[in-house]
């Protein structure tokens, strides 16, 4: 159990040391919401001052771990030491770190990179009948705590299209060639197999059209 001032940036964000940029981003978003002044989760446990101190450390950690170069340097310092010298002893971020973000500001969109399929997501959240329709995609997204607007910001797909995908509103969807690309990007954000999701969704859509004649 490390006091706050001695925790590594990964411990502060509760993100894995090998975590992808998306995992760092997601951990940061959750941490920021958790220790925000209006948060219900800290009520009765931490005082406003304690939350503010935790938030300052979280912003400091994020400023380093969200910057590829600073993160490499920080990781190298962590690896070099048997103790925990990678952790600054002062609250000032290391040289070159981006200034701490105002907690009220929206976080930037995470970089658009495919996340590897997550076996836990595939295993415990996969649909019982094997079909990835809009309802199932929505359930998986919500269970991961990801807002639709975050996916829109990451993928640059219009939120209305994403809503239509989740709502199975086939008549509002773009032409098939675009739809397939959208579905694959959506699936990547949820750590699902992109081709499987695109095949499954469009297959269900064709079945539905055929039934309607």
Partner 1 sequence: MGGGKGGIGKSFLVANLATVAARSGRRVILIDADLGGANLHTCLGVRAGERISLSDYFEDRVVDLEKVAIETPIPGLRLILGALGHTGKAETTQEQRATLLRAVRRLPADLVIFDLAAGTDRSTIDFFLEADDGFVVTTPEPTAIENAYAFLRAAFYRRLASALQESNVRELIRVAMDQRNERGIRTPADLLGAVEQIDHAEAERFRRVLEGFRPHLVVNQVRDTEEVKMGFSITSVCKKYFGIDIDYAGYICFDDNVWRSVKDRRPLVLAYPTSDGALYVRRIVKKLLGT
Three-state DSSP at 46 gives coil
Residue 17 or residue 41: which is nearer to partner 1 going by CB?
A: 41
The footprint of partner 1 (CB under 8 A) covers 1, 3-4, 14, 30-31, 33-34, 39-46, 54, 124-125, 128, 139, 141-143, 145-147
**Nearer residue to partner 1 within complex by CB, 125 or 153:** 125
Distance CA 138, CA 27 (A): 20
Q: What secondary structure does DSSP assign to 179-213, as a single string?
A: HHHHHHHHHHHTT--HHHHHHHHHHHHHHHHHHH-
Rounded Cα distance between 86 and 95, Å, is 13
Q: Is 186 exposed, middle or buried (0-12, 13-18, 19+ CB in 10 A)?
A: buried
């Amino acid at each position: 159990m490390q006091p706050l001032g001695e925790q590594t940036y990964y411990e502060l964000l509760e993100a894995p040391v090998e975590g992808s940029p998306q995992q760092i981003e997601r951990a940061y978003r959750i941490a920021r919401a958790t220790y925000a002044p209006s948060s219900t989760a800290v009520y009765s446990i931490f005082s406003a001052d304690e939350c503010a101190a935790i938030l300052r450390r979280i912003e400091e950690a994020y400023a380093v771990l969200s910057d590829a170069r600073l993160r490499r340097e920080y990781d190298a310092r962590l690896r070099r030491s048997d103790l925990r010298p990678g952790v600054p002893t002062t609250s000032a971020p290391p040289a070159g770190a981006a200034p701490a973000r105002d907690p009220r500001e929206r976080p930037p969109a995470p970089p658009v990179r495919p996340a590897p399929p997550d076996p836990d997501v595939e295993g415990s959240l996969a649909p019982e009948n094997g079909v990835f329709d809009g309802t199932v995609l929505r359930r998986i997204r919500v269970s991961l705590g990801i807002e639709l607007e975050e996916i829109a910001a990451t993928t640059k797909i219009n939120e209305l299209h994403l809503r239509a995908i989740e709502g199975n509103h086939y008549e509002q969807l773009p032409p098939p060639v675009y739809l397939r690309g959208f579905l694959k990007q959506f699936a990547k954000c949820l750590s699902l197999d992109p081709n499987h999701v695109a095949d499954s969704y469009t297959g269900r859509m064709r079945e539905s059209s055929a039934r309607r004649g």
